[in-house]
Amino acid sequence: MLQPTSGPRSLAIGAAVVSGALLLTACGSSGGSRSAGTPSAAASPSPAATGIACGKAATVSASGSTAQEFAMKFWIKNYMRACPGTRISYEGNGSGAGQTDFLEGRTAFAGSDSALSTAQITQSKSICSDGGRAVHLPMVGGPIAIGFNLPGVSKLVLDAPTLAKVFDSQITKWNDPAIAKLNPGAKLPSTPIRTSHRSDSSGTTDNFTAYLSAAAPNAWPHGHNKVWMAKGGQSAKGSTGIADQVKKTAGAIGYVELSHALALNVATASIATGAPSPVDASVLTASRAIADSTVANTSGDLVLKLDYATETPGAYPIDMVTYEIVCDKGNKPATWPTTKAFLTYISGTRGQEDLSFEGYATLPATIVDKVRSRINTLS
């Protein structure tokens, strides 16, 4: 499997498991406490040296997707080093909770792996002043890996119908004929399959079930949703919770962003898509699939439509895109200059260049260009 030369594994060494608020604090030269590892203003590189244009110093709070926790930690650290006096916090509490926080006016922006519903867009008009509404800015792409823990089995191939039946408790043993057919020669044990799914409202769940629904509609009767709908299995909160549960449980299988699987050294399955060869979850294979995404509408919003049923050789089909959700106009005056400057940095060449080293897939250049242009129009 292709893996980044540095990224979640190295992040895991220094940060162990990322959870809760990813808060990095920068302080001026006047002294005072600061978070461990945060350089003083004197040691901070200049904005010109980093290519970051700082906004007005402010305290900005955001929350949502756990999929982009590693990216947010990286971005926030870089931005805060370049812009002393600014304080940015990001709480990885799940896409659903992040959406709620934003729609109730508690945060400057939300991170979400699934788009707001029509009803939520209408609700956003109450917190976006000047006649504004929420819009989606695709910022991070990546594969949803199928992590497994099966002693004696290091390589595993699965496909959409088999995954659908496994997660719907229709296939319950690892040596089931459907799994054996995909893995000729493998010594599959009769160990019970222990599925793991998210307990919280999750964009990862929404995208994983969207894949099952699109690629195996006859085997998956539940459609797609941020809330897990199938019966059975274990549950855990957040991406780290799923990865940890799979790692600790013999016979386990779960869906989790590749960055979190790598951070905990969880084995991941290859996916048979109908292409000549099964496809591993990696930055490159996810980028290849996401490259075929299209903007779903022309209303100035940038929600992407992914092809979960792709059979393109070397394209990993179980992917997602994380959006930063803000108002198109009527953002909070006290925090918007800093929020806009931060979004400009993370969508810029420097912010996007470094993503692959953190375990994230590259978004198509045409999409990133649209994001940068859209940020310039927001107020």
CATH of domain 143-290: 3.40.190.10
List pLDDT tens digits, range 161-180. 999 999 999 999 999 999 99
Amino acid at 270: S
List pLDDT tens digits, range 49-101. 567 899 889 999 999 999 999 899 999 999 999 999 999 999 999 999 999 99
Angle at 283 between CA 277 and CA 284, to 5 degrees: 55
Range from 124-133, 281-290, 350-359 carrying the lowest mean pLDDT = 350-359
Six-digit token string for 251: 């016979």
Q: How far apart are CA 220 and CA 169, in angstroms?
A: 11
Superfamily holding 8-142+321-377: Periplasmic binding protein-like II (3.40.190.10)
Q: How many CB atoms are closer than 10 A to CB 366?
A: 11
How far does CA 189 lie from the centroid of its chain? Answer: 32
Secondary structure of residue 109 in the 3-state scheme = strand
pTM over 0.85: no
| All CATH 3.40.190.10 domain ranges in the chain, comma separated | 8-142+321-377, 143-290
Please compute the mean of the pLDDT values over residues 260-274 and round it to a whole number.
96
Q: How far apart are CA 134 and CA 252, in angstroms?
A: 38
How far does CA 166 lie from the centroid of its chain? Answer: 23
